[in-house]
Amino acid sequence: MTGPRGTGPVLVLVGPPGAGKTTVGRLVAEWLGVGFRDTDDDVVALAGKSVPDIFVDDGEARFRELEEDAVDTALRVHGGVLALGGGAVQSERTRRRLSGQHVVFLSVDVTNAARRVGLNRDRPLLLGNIRQQLRALLDARIPLYQEVANITVDTSGREPAEVAAEVVTGLSSAALPGPAADRSEHSPEAG
């Protein structure tokens, strides 16, 4: 099963840290009967070290280069649900590559994002005052998420299954894989 142009993902999830891209993405992929891929995992595999180690050893610019390459590859070869790292949309090249894809922006307010992220040391851009860092990230990135997204789903104060159900039902018929009969067996309402 592939995305809208016959190749690439069925669906791409974008959003800030704490929006639930990985959790929701796994649920949506399961409901649709497709694979799930997270570009942050791809970056770690490419670099051979953790995201924080990339930031410390090589710097954010190197991380962003690896991220661009990981997104480019995943958009070409992955036929399931794809979650992008929170900052991937900062790349103009990535935003161009998302054109024509089915992109869902998982939005979240600062309070919910901070609660979900907590004191996660694996998020180097959120060290220090988490709420202040999240606010700055949201202010800078929300216009970019909105630019690339076809659909926005608010995850604030909601359970992942509820969000995933809205993502699945919010997609147009053309966005979902296979004929309508196949979709019903993978829909959240079908259990």
Residue 83's CATH number: 3.40.50.300
| Domain assignment of residue 71, given as a range | 11-190
As for how many domains the chain has, the answer is 1
pLDDT, position 171 = 74
Q: Tokens 């009967």 — which residue?
A: 33
Per the confidence metrics, is the pTM higher than 0.75? yes
Determine the Cα–Cα distance for residues 43 and 2; give it in Å rounded to an integer. Answer: 22
Which pLDDT tens digit goes with each residue over 30-72? 999 999 999 999 999 999 999 888 988 998 899 999 999 999 9
Q: Which parts of the chain have pLDDT scores under 70?
A: 1-7, 114-130, 172-191
* The dihedral formed by the CA atoms of 170, 174, 30 and 90, expressed in degrees to the nearest 10: -70
> Does residue 3 lie in a domain region?
no
Determine the Cα–Cα distance for residues 80 and 43; give it in Å rounded to an integer. Answer: 18
The one-character DSSP state at 34 is -
